[in-house]
Amino acid sequence: MTQRQVNVMGMTITEKILAKASGKKTVKAGDLVDAKIDVIMCHDITTPAAISMLIEKGIDKVFNRSKIVVTPDHFQPAKDIKSAELHKRLDQWAKRQKIKYYYKIGRAGVCHALLPEQGHIRPGEVIVGGDSHTCTYGAFAAFSTGVGSTDLAAAIATGQLWFKVPASMKFVLNGLLKKGVYSKDVILAVIARVGTDGALYRAMEFVGPALKGMSMEARMTITNMAIEAGAKNGIIGFDAVTKKYLDGHLRDKKSYKVFESDKDAEYAAVEEFDCSKLEPMVAMPHLPSGGVPIGKCRGKAMDQAYIGSCTNGRIEDLRIAAKIMKGKEVAIRTIIVPATPEIWKQAKDEGLFDVFYKAGCVISAPTCGACLGGFMGILAEGEKCISTTNRNFVGRMGHPKSEVYLASPATAAASAIEGKLTDPRKYL
């Protein structure tokens, strides 16, 4: 199934992928390359603007209708007239261009959960999307990054984009996670150490024994939040866990190239973490870098708990939350948002919805809504939310004087039960 390419020496996995995509034997950090794009992700917020730019230039075409994946997700179902108009424009464009992979409402889901689930993500490829958390797909040993609407328009029309090759930082995750500690806690600890600009325009390459025990879902949580440290991309090498996931999901079973970092590859920095010593983490308002162990913030009252998003809305996340909530009732407003229709159905079939219903939770259709302060969980002035999302900026989920606390599904579920920041380990 796989072809391993290790003949080019002295390059990181990110550099090798960009070298292949630009037709070069070698590249180094700082080089400018014109790279061919393998997959473009389009959603309802940034794509309509890109479409307008193309039409203004007299361009009403796409470079390859099979390499563009379209799904409404930020405001789906439409919350108001403006979002309905965005959906209408996206729908008309996708139909006019005969986009092969167009997930309409009813099959639409949170983009960064949907694309891997539906088999569109492959190792060794270059993937871009009009969303900053497109770096999620780096969990599959791919180069994946978010772009603005202008670059998105250029990619849609030409299938190519200019990139400056990012310098790489290596994050060595040693040890094994203890009970009640998850990949969300790991990435919050990483960002707490390096800061929101500690990896500015760099590739965050994650390695180490702690990854071996993580599912692909858990790994996607880590690469998803690379942008919160300012990174251009996050990336994790290919292994048996990756292969097993791809064998069960890939649409196209043709071979793919697996790139590995060379032993003599250069890194701008190397950071080591002993994951066996990590506790459940909570990122305090108003930055993702505000992570502290639960012991330092335990007991702070919350008004809402939110479990979902492109970071933690997958079936594994819902199972973790349901395990803690089973037989209990939540003390605060709690919203559960499965990230895709398949995850929604699987959660229902497994009886997770029964657990959430009996606990007093709201269960939503797949949407990004509350994460960006759109709908389906907006906060009023002074309200506090424990959330499994990826950002807790001022006003991110509602009123500028509300507060968002980032945590794992386990911590969010335990906090929902008690109505205050709670160590999930007491329920496991």
Q: Is the dihedral of CA 355, 357, 359, 365 positive or negative?
A: positive
Angle formed by the axes of helices 352-359 and 315-325, to 10°? 50
| Residue 11: Cβ within 10 Å count | 25
Residues 6+ apart with CB under 8 A from 143: 14, 17, 18, 21, 125, 126, 127, 233, 235
Contact between 338 and 316 (Cβ < 8 Å) = no
Rounded distance, CA 27 to CA 14, Å? 10
Task: Report whether pLDDT(47) > 60.
Answer: yes
How far, in Å, are 2, 18, 260, 406 from residue 238 at the CA level? 10, 17, 8, 28
pLDDT the model gives residue 255? 85
Of 281, 213, 217, 225, nearest to 425 (Cα)? Answer: 281
Contact between 236 and 139 (Cβ < 8 Å) = yes
Q: Record the tokens describing residue 286, joined without a space.
A: 């108003």
What count of Cα atoms within 13 Å lies in the side-chain half-sphere of residue 413?
A: 29
Q: What is the pLDDT averaged over residues 55-64? A: 95
155-165: pLDDT as tens digits: 999 999 999 99
Rounded distance, CA 372 to CA 309, Å? 10
Task: Report whether pLDDT(2) > 60.
Answer: no
Task: Report whether pLDDT(8) > 60.
Answer: no
Q: What is the pLDDT averaged over residues 398-427? A: 98
Kindly report the pTM of this predicted structure: 0.94
Q: Record the tokens describing residue 150, joined without a space.
A: 């202008």
Contact between 130 and 86 (Cβ < 8 Å) = no
Rounded distance, CA 200 to CA 102, Å? 33
| Residue 68: Cβ within 10 Å count | 24
Q: What percent of the chain has pLDDT over 90?
A: 96
Task: Report whether pLDDT(347) > 90.
Answer: yes
Task: Report whether pLDDT(82) > 50.
Answer: yes
Q: Specify the residue for token string 């162990």.
A: 293
Of 116, 141, 171, nearest to 260 (Cα)? Answer: 141
| Residue 319: Cβ within 10 Å count | 15
> Coil, strand or helix: which one is 404?
strand
20-33: pLDDT as tens digits: 999 999 999 999 99
200-211: pLDDT as tens digits: 999 999 999 999
33 strand-pairing partners: 163
User: How do beta strands 126-129 and 143-146 pair?
Assistant: parallel
Extended beta strands in 255-343, E state? 256-259, 269-274, 281-283, 291-293, 304-307, 333-336
Rounded distance, CA 258 to CA 256, Å? 7
> At CB < 8 A and 24+ separation, what contacts does 145-153 make?
145/232, 145/233, 146/227, 148/46, 149/46, 149/47, 149/49, 149/50, 149/53, 150/50, 150/53, 152/40, 152/42, 152/46, 152/47, 152/50, 152/128, 153/50, 153/51, 153/53, 153/54
Q: Specify the residue for token string 């390359």.
A: 33
pLDDT the model gives residue 251? 85
Residues 6+ apart with CB under 8 A from 338: 308, 313, 315, 318, 344, 347, 363, 364, 366
Rounded distance, CA 371 to CA 379, Å? 11
Q: What is the pLDDT averaged over residues 39-47? A: 97
pLDDT the model gives residue 254? 79
Q: What is the pLDDT averaged over residues 250-257? A: 86
Going by pLDDT thresholds of 50, 70 and 90, the confidence category of residue 6 is very low
304-331: pLDDT as tens digits: 999 999 999 999 999 999 999 999 999 9
Contact between 236 and 141 (Cβ < 8 Å) = yes
Going by pLDDT thresholds of 50, 70 and 90, the confidence category of residue 390 is very high
Q: Which domains does the chain have, with CATH numbers?
A: 8-159+168-252+266-273 (3.30.499.10), 283-427 (3.30.499.10)
Contact between 172 and 207 (Cβ < 8 Å) = yes
172-215: pLDDT as tens digits: 999 999 999 999 999 999 999 999 999 999 999 999 999 999 99
Give me the chain's average pLDDT, please: 96
Helix, strand, coil abundance in the chain, percent, nearest 5:
35, 20, 45
Q: Specify the residue for token string 């040693």.
A: 174
| Residue 175: Cβ within 10 Å count | 15
Rg (CA), the chain: 21
Going by pLDDT thresholds of 50, 70 and 90, the confidence category of residue 244 is very high
